[in-house]
Amino acid sequence: MFTPVAITPPLVISQPSWLKAYQDKHLGQAFPSLEARMQLVIACQRENVKHGTGGPFAAAVFEKDSGILVSLAVNSVEKSHCGLAHAENMAIGLAEQKRGTYNLADPTLPAHQLVTSGQMCIMCYGGVIWSGVSEVVFGATAKDIETINGFDEGPLPSDWIAQLENRGIHVIAEYQREEAIVAHRQYRELEAHVYTPQRLKLG
Ligand SMILES: [Zn+2]
């Protein structure tokens, strides 16, 4: 029998206190239209910038067909002192723990959809592949994210969408892109910290 014990020291990834009101109000609620799902994500993305609680990124996992909200998260890298705490990773991890499985593609579960304010970085791209979601919807492009504030999205393969499609993960790209870019511009105007790790330049 497996008895889980907390690792020592525990890995703690926090979410900002303002997000709890969104979660309390909306988790379990059905968002039938894709437009409404992305609008919720963009609202949280902007709140994260406004409150100074993280980067301009938010993500949510919905049941794909019913639109029921399973998880909702924002970027918490700096506040959590954890480079893993991207919004997409957080939303996926919260959804998996809510479902009690690492595999959201479990045949006993409904299909799941990740809606994210921006194209995934290479880390969250891997997270999506291992998550079991069957659809990804993103707003801002990696180029938007990299050029507006200088975040590093990593070396995604040029055929990354085809790679997901080949694994049965449908991609809806640049959905409400212009609205998803606004928070990036707001982040730039605040001259907020761009927390991409510094690396040695090669060559
Ligand atoms: Zn990421």
**Which residues have their alpha-adjacent CB atom under 5 A from ion ligand 1?**
86, 121, 123-124
Distance from residue 194's CA to the centre of ligand 1 (Å): 14
Dist. CA 100–CA 32, nearest whole Å: 24
* Number of C-beta neighbours around residue 55 at 10 A: 28
Under a CB-based contact definition with an 8 Å cutoff, are residues 77 and 85 in contact?
A: yes
Distance from residue 120's CA to the centre of ligand 1 (Å): 5
**Structural tokens at position 121:** 């970085």
CA proximity to 142, closest of 164, 125, 162, 163: 125
Residue 9 has what pLDDT? 84
Distance from residue 52's CA to the centre of ligand 1 (Å): 19
Q: For 91, left (φ over 0), alpha (ψ -120 to 50), or beta?
A: alpha
Distance from residue 23's CA to the centre of ligand 1 (Å): 21
Under a CB-based contact definition with an 8 Å cutoff, are residues 71 and 98 in contact?
A: yes
Distance from residue 1's CA to the centre of ligand 1 (Å): 35
Residue 199 has what pLDDT? 53
CA proximity to 14, closest of 96, 84, 116: 84
Distance from residue 139's CA to the centre of ligand 1 (Å): 14
pLDDT band for position 194 (cuts 50, 70, 90)? confident
CA proximity to 116, closest of 141, 99, 98: 141
pLDDT band for position 203 (cuts 50, 70, 90)? very low
Distance from residue 2's CA to the centre of ligand 1 (Å): 31
Distance from residue 196's CA to the centre of ligand 1 (Å): 11
Starting at the edge strand found earlier in the chain, the sheet holding 69-74 runs 69-74, 58-63, 112-118, 135-140, 170-172
How far CA 196 is from CA of 72, 80, 111, 150, 193, in Å, comes to 23, 15, 33, 8, 9
Under a CB-based contact definition with an 8 Å cutoff, are residues 116 and 135 in contact?
A: no
pLDDT: which is higher, 9 or 35: 35
Dist. CA 2–CA 83, nearest whole Å: 29
Given a cut of 80, is residue 71 above it in pLDDT?
Answer: yes
Distance from residue 131's CA to the centre of ligand 1 (Å): 14
**Structural tokens at position 155:** 């070396």
The SS3 assignment for 46 reads: helix
At 14-32, the pLDDT tens digits run 999 999 999 999 999 999 9
At 134-186, the pLDDT tens digits run 999 999 999 999 999 999 999 999 999 999 999 999 999 999 999 999 999 99
Given a cut of 60, is residue 201 above it in pLDDT?
Answer: no
Dist. CA 147–CA 40, nearest whole Å: 25
